Amino acid sequence: MNNAQRMPGFLTLDRLEKRFGDAVVTRGVSLSAARGEIVALLGPSGSGKTTVLRLVAGFETPEAGRVLVENEDVTAVPPERRRFGMVFQHYALFPHLTAGENVAFGLAARGEGAEASRARVAETLALAGLSGFENRRITEISGGQQQRVALARALAPNPRVLLLDEPLSNLDPALRERTRRELKRAIRQVGITTLFVTHEQEEAFELGDRVAVLHRGRLEQIGSPEELFEAPATRFVATFIGRSSVLPAAWDGVAARLPGGVAWPAVAGAPLARGAEADLVVRPESLLLAASARPDALPGTVLERRYAGRSAYFRATTDAGEVEVLGAPDAAREGERVFVALAPGGPTPRVFPREP
């Protein structure tokens, strides 16, 4: 277990295993979150991230492993007794009730008095940036406002942990970005430990203090966005986070050797013997288009140019394979002969054992 998992913490997932029939959905997932920390569960569809969240919430029971909060084992505790707040992907709001009535719904189950309930509803709606919305019907407010009503409802009973399942996926891109900022502000203001599921890297990087990358039910790596981008621990993380090119190479212990005698300094992301066949993972920011031939450059041809404002992405074919390079918009044209070299100061390329 690496130091980034920091076990035990305020919320601890200890070797969670879950199967549905013969399918293993989570494989020994262990991680922890400190008090007030926001941890994003990031991964492609089918990676197990929603199942992990449901195990934490108590909606699923693990075959093995534990869920602990402040060292209390809650694995066998029913969901309603865990004191966790949850915001579902589709919000699960009651359309025939007002925003205030939706927020008050969870308080009534706790036997909260009418006056105390009204005060708490007003407080949590204000926290979500919805002061004065108590009497608005759900059908009368926008998607972003509905998301914040769902957040206020989850926070109203003062939960120990907040769980979010793809909370922004139903919003259009512009509204999603604005709501993301508002969501982070509200969570920070409360200071609640939060675990949220997303398949959007930008969302995970903006909201999460740390990001846990899941793949085929396994926790590949957990760390800050910078750690995941600059020092991916596995080939999957290296190719899933950000953009990258994968080139076949031979590892000499300090550099990846490519066709034509070109050698690019790299870091081994996993144990590799000298001379071993390897996959070199290199980011567009790590490459440049040289003006002329040089010993450390791969000759190639630009296949495609994609404008991105003050920069452009160039896809080029080389003797080692296709690569993507980030450069100035006028660095090259489609069909032009180029020379691809490492850019100074870019993320260091990493090598991993060759995949079949």
Q: State percent of the chain over pLDDT 70.
A: 97
Distance CA(182)–CA(173), nearest Å, equals: 14
Give the pLDDT band of residue 4 (cuts 50, 70, 90): very low
Q: In terms of pLDDT, which residue wins out, 128 or 263?
A: 263
Write down the domain spans for the chain: 3-235, 243-353
Question: Residue 179: is its pLDDT beyond 90?
Answer: no
pLDDT in tens, 107-154: 876 667 788 888 999 999 998 889 989 999 998 998 888 888 999 999
Task: Report the Cα 6 to chain-centroid distance in Å.
Answer: 18
β-pair type (218-223, 210-215): antiparallel
What does the pLDDT read at residue 5? 45
What does the pLDDT read at residue 147? 86
Question: Residue 6: is its pLDDT beyond 60?
Answer: no
What does the pLDDT read at residue 338? 96
C-alpha distances in Å from residue 297, one per residue of 90, 155, 247, 279, 338: 50, 56, 14, 18, 9
Backbone angles phi, psi at 136, to 5 degrees: -80, 135
Question: Residue 335: is its pLDDT beyond 90?
Answer: yes
pLDDT in tens, 223-233: 999 999 999 99
Of 1.10.10.1100, 2.40.50.140, 3.10.310.30, 2.30.30.40, the CATH number of 243-353 is 2.40.50.140
What does the pLDDT read at residue 8? 55
For residues 127 and 184, the answer to whether their CB atoms sit within 8 Å is: no
Q: What is the mean pLDDT of residues 280-289?
A: 96
Q: In terms of pLDDT, which residue wins out, 291 or 246?
A: 246
Task: Measure the N-to-C terminal CA separation of the chain; round to a whole number of Å.
Answer: 27
- Least Cα distance to 251 among 340, 355, 351 occurs for 351
Per CATH, the homologous superfamily of domain 3-235 is: P-loop containing nucleotide triphosphate hydrolases (3.40.50.300)
- Least Cα distance to 36 among 154, 210, 226 occurs for 210
Q: What is the mean pLDDT of residues 204-218?
A: 96
Three-state DSSP class for residue 159? coil
